[in-house]
Chain A
Amino acid sequence: MKTMVPNLKNIINHSPSIDKVGVEERCARFQSRSIKNESKWEGLKMVLSMIDLTTLEGKDTPGKVKQMCYKAHHLNDNMSDLPNVAAVCVYPSMVKLAKKELIGTNIKVASVSTAFPSGQAPLSVKLSDTKFAVDNGADEIDMVISRGEFLSGDYNFVHDEIATIKEACGHARLKVILETGELSTLDNVRLASDIAILAGADFIKTSTGKISPAATMPVTYTMLQAIRDHYVATGKMIGMKPAGGISNSKLALHYLVMVKETVGDEWLNNTYFRFGASSLANDVLMQIQKAKTGIYSSADYFSID
């Protein structure tokens, strides 16, 4: 195992086992870190800069997407010194519009694809879904893996599908959504992470947000360990995106603690770490205002797009 060649056979046979109790204990330790004063303030700004502001609803309209894009680079115009969010995340049909709305900003446009959120479609459909988003200017593609095939043990299928989509992405970075809420065990989460990384994922991502539980600390921790092991073995850095379920600042800061202590400070930027969230930004803004002025405003003082 010392010099294991990272190929699919080795990964399936040697993906490490995960002890859930131990993982939960470690995660509790992250949450016992006390983040105060300037580290809180710096951390909150970092959180803002790592958010993928997301709308993924059947009822999405151009109007909704436009308003969200405006929010992405005007988080709160009454506060100075705020970063933008990292990206907006939309359905493929909204990519062109979002791209246009964000001209002149450094905000990326991410698009879900591959028959999001279920992934239950033939490869040809998934490929054209992906190509459509890329052709419309998507900077990042958030694909879902085929959980059915994974759970039935067809790891080759899962691997090859990711590799094919990666090819279709061209220059767009590929985020691979494992939908960990459907994988049920941390052993599965680890194996799926290893397969996705091997198949060419630039990022691995916990969830679609459509399945509960979405992102949890134990799941994110397990995926970060896979990222770190890959880095040690190959020197290549893979990004991490927990999505869904992280809606308050305190929890987001503890995710940063986890990133710092599990993979290292090199991952503390939006090239390698993202939060997929829609309501997190406003809670962070509220906390930043509290840190600056000493008073909490009501939620009505923060725009809800």
Chain B
Amino acid sequence: MSKKTQDIWSYAPAPESSKVVQIKEKYDLYIDGKFVKPSSGKYFKSFNPADEKEICSIAYGNEKDVDLAVKAARKAYNTVWSKLSSAERGKYIFRIARMMQERSRELAVAESIDSGKTIRESRDIDIPLACNHFFYYAGWADKLEEAFPGRKPKSLGVAGQIIPWNFPLLMAAWKIAPALATGNTVVIKPAETTSLTMMILAEIIHEAGLPAGVFNVVSGYGDTGAAIVNHPDVNKIAFTGSTAVGKIIQKALAGTDKKLTLELGGKSANIVFDDAPIDQAVEGIVNGIFFNQGHVCCAGSRLFVQENIAEKVIEKLKFRMASLIVGDPLDKNTDIGAINSKEQFETIQKYLKIGKDEGSEMYQSPCKLPKKGNYMAPTLFMNVAQSNIIAQEEIFGPVLTIQTFRTIDEVIQKANNSPFGLAAGVWSDKGSKVFNVTSQLRAGVVWANTYNKFDPAAPFGGYKESGFGREGGLHGLIPYLKFD
């Protein structure tokens, strides 16, 4: 490309006010309808990844706290929640959904401050989708018999749920809403780096008047999560997070009668054929990998582009990347926010080094990065082969590997040649080709001519090391039910 006269006209800062949310100095556990101090008296600090400033302190729950929470959940299940009519149960969930909606601006700002994701995404995607999950499952609460005719669906009891840091409130909604709708009670743990919106949600649920013990929050680290997983009186574990932790949980549950769903990592293929609407495919590649800083389990992190258009697609991709704004998550014009934690930032850097050492060609967009905070430029790796580590392992950052292919059979083989199988994307203008390819991809979610689209009515989940069980839709009710 020739001359570049950037910044003839640039966008002035347009920060969303952080005043809409009153963040407390510290947040306690929520057990049996009360906000209580952790039995150890310990709190841990939560930081804003954008400026590394301390936001608040979060209660560090231990085994004892988990036991109290499970006992409260069991008691609530036995005495109240399982006795309540399903329509009444639905009413509570609708109420939570409406109250979340009323406080959506506050939740969006809190989510961006705590996780580093852009206000555009938390405002337009995370929070509205989270509300919609509650609305959607509230509707199912009194229709379970119709959902599974003749199968007599029954609730399980106490559900233990462990939430990741990439979509803190949204993933919580994915788990809480179906659990409550099916008549279970909940003990939930947010990720240690992103507990804030869960704490606000606890306040909302408290205010909604949900009977004491139906919903309990025990915040903390991995040991807190382990205490939930290993508690003998929990009937069901739902976990979203890394494959490594997922394996530990599955081992721990072997031989017990606890039900389990795991939503783990991914290395999803995004496949662009030469007859695709190319400019829209480029847009889809960008949304697929740079959405939420690439901290997306279903991110389209492996791009497969047909060899005869590869040069063109890469040129367009680089140009498009140049208009992505990296910076303050609270600025309404920011496209890519801050990497969630120092630890994750370092993991990504490690992979960049591996990629370069393996001989792939790295390209980073020439964007301005703020001096402080965990920021990184969107990154491409070209000349990548199936055998490269960066094409095999989940990086969980704004890093895309690009491989080329020649034929349909070849790309299907390569896309499936992965220990993961969470999602995939296919781009082609030809309907028959789209159906042929999508039906042969071993991935839980396959998008055609779009990427990273979510809806409460659509089930989500993986194959192979990406986990099992489905969240969302009618399918999302099943893990929380037993049948005659």
Rounded to whole angstroms, the CA-CA distance of A32 and B332 in the bound complex is 8
Contact B14 A1 (CB under 8 A): no
Q: Which residue of B lies closest to A257 (CB)?
A: B11
Contact A36 B14 (CB under 8 A): yes
Q: Is the C-beta of B145 less than 8 angstroms from some C-beta in chain A? A: no
Q: Which residue of A lies closest to B315 (CB)?
A: A232
Interface size on B, residues (CB 8 A): 38
Contact with B along A42-86 (1 / 0, CB 8 A): 110010000000000000000000000000000000000000000
Give the total number of A-B pairs whose CB atoms are below 8 A apart: 89
Contact A266 B5 (CB under 8 A): yes
Q: Is the C-beta of A289 less than 8 angstroms from some C-beta in chain B? A: no
Rounded to whole angstroms, the CA-CA distance of A18 and B277 in the bound complex is 5
What distance in Å separates the Cβ of B378 from its nearest Cβ neighbour in chain A? Answer: 15
Contact with A along B6-37 (1 / 0, CB 8 A): 11111111100000000000000000000000
What distance in Å separates the Cβ of B10 from its nearest Cβ neighbour in chain A? Answer: 6
Contact A22 B275 (CB under 8 A): no
Q: A1-B309, A1-B312, A34-B332 are in contact. Are A39 and B10 (CB under 8 A)?
A: yes
Residues of A within 8 A of B308 (CB): 1-2
Q: Is the C-beta of B244 less than 8 angstroms from some C-beta in chain A? A: no
Contact with A along B65-88 (1 / 0, CB 8 A): 000000000000000000000000
Q: Which of B278, B308, B315, B449 has the most CB of A within 10 A?
A: B278
Q: Is the C-beta of A19 less than 8 angstroms from some C-beta in chain B? A: yes
Q: Is the C-beta of A294 less than 8 angstroms from some C-beta in chain B? A: no
Contact A260 B323 (CB under 8 A): yes
Residues of B within 8 A of A34 (CB): 11, 14, 332-333
Main SS of chain A's interface residues? helix
Contact with A along B431-457 (1 / 0, CB 8 A): 000000000000000000110000000
- 8 Å CB contact of B6 from A18, A35, A265: A265
Q: Is the C-beta of A25 less than 8 angstroms from some C-beta in chain B? A: yes
Within A4-50, which residues are at the interface with B (CB < 8 Å)? 16-19, 21-23, 25-26, 32-40, 42-43, 46
Contact A16 B279 (CB under 8 A): yes
What distance in Å separates the Cβ of A293 from its nearest Cβ neighbour in chain B? Answer: 19
User: With A17-B276, A269-B8 given, can you name 20 additional A-B contacts, CB distance below 8 Å?
Assistant: A2-B311, A2-B312, A16-B277, A16-B278, A17-B429, A18-B277, A19-B449, A21-B280, A22-B280, A22-B281, A32-B120, A32-B124, A34-B11, A35-B11, A36-B13, A260-B9, A261-B323, A264-B319, A266-B3, A268-B8
B residues with CB within 8 A of A: 1-14, 120, 124, 274-281, 283-284, 308-309, 311-312, 315, 319, 323, 332-333, 429, 449-450
23 A-B contacts (beta carbon < 8 Å): A2-B308, A2-B311, A16-B277, A16-B278, A18-B277, A19-B280, A21-B280, A21-B449, A22-B277, A22-B284, A23-B280, A32-B120, A33-B332, A33-B333, A35-B12, A36-B12, A43-B9, A225-B279, A260-B9, A260-B323, A261-B323, A265-B4, A265-B8
A residues with CB within 8 A of B: 1-2, 16-19, 21-23, 25-26, 32-40, 42-43, 46, 225, 228, 232, 235, 256, 260-261, 264-266, 268-269
